[in-house]
Structure 1
Amino acid sequence: MTRQQITTLCKQLWALDGHRAEYALLRTKQRYDAGGDRAGHLLAHRLRVQAVGRWVVELQLSDGTRTCREEQIIAQFEQFYSDLYTEEGLDEEGVEGYLASVPRLRFP
C-alpha cells in the first residue's frame, strides 16, 4: 500500500467512527472535569443526564404487560426490529399510494 492509500483509508475510518470518537472524548472530559472548575462540573452533569435519558427502564411488551427486566426489554427490541425489517406482509399498493400522495418538488 502506498502512503496516500493509507491516508485515504485512515480518513474514511475516521469519518465512519467520528461520532463514536467524539462521544468517547466527551466521556473522557466528563471523568476529568467532574473534579475541576464550575464549567467542568456542569459539563459532567450534562453528560450524565444525557446518558441516563437514553436508558430504557420499563417497556410495554406485545402482550400488554409492562416489564423492567433487561432480558425481556432486549428481546422485545430484537423482535420489533426483526419484524420491522422483514419484507413479509409489505403492502406495496399502500406504499405506492402513499408515495403518490407526497408532493414533489419541481426545479426549473
Structure 2
Amino acid sequence: MYKRRARLAFASSSPALAERAARIALARGADWVEACSCPAGAVPSACDLLVTLDRAALEACPHLPPGCRHAHWPLSTSPTDADIVSRVDGLVGGMRLLARLDGSEAPGGTCRA
C-alpha cells in the first residue's frame, strides 16, 4: 500500500515545539514517516501532511501544494511529550492498520507491528 514513508512537517510559532514533535514522530514511526519542523506559515516543498501545533501556526497556514494535506493538533501551551506521542501513535497506528488490510509492510523496513 505505502511505497514510501509519509513526509510530515510540523509547524508551530515555537520552533522548539515543532522540532520536538518531529523528533518524536521519527522515534515512534521511523519505518512509516519522515518528519521535519518548519516555521508557522511555511510548507516544505515535498510534504504529504502539514501538522499545525498551535493557533498561530493554524492562522498562518498557507495554501498547500498539490498532494499535501493539513491536520491541526490543538496542543496546550505547554504540551508534554506524552501529548505528542499520543497523537503520533494514532497517526502511525492508522497507517499500520491500513497496511495490514492488504498485507503490506512498512515502507522503510520490515516492522509489521
Measured against the shorter chain, the TM-score band is under 0.3
Superposition TM-score, scaled by structure 2 size: 0.24
Higher strand share: 2
Highest RCO, 1 vs 2 (Cα 8 Å, sep ≥ 6): 2
TM-score (norm 1): 0.25
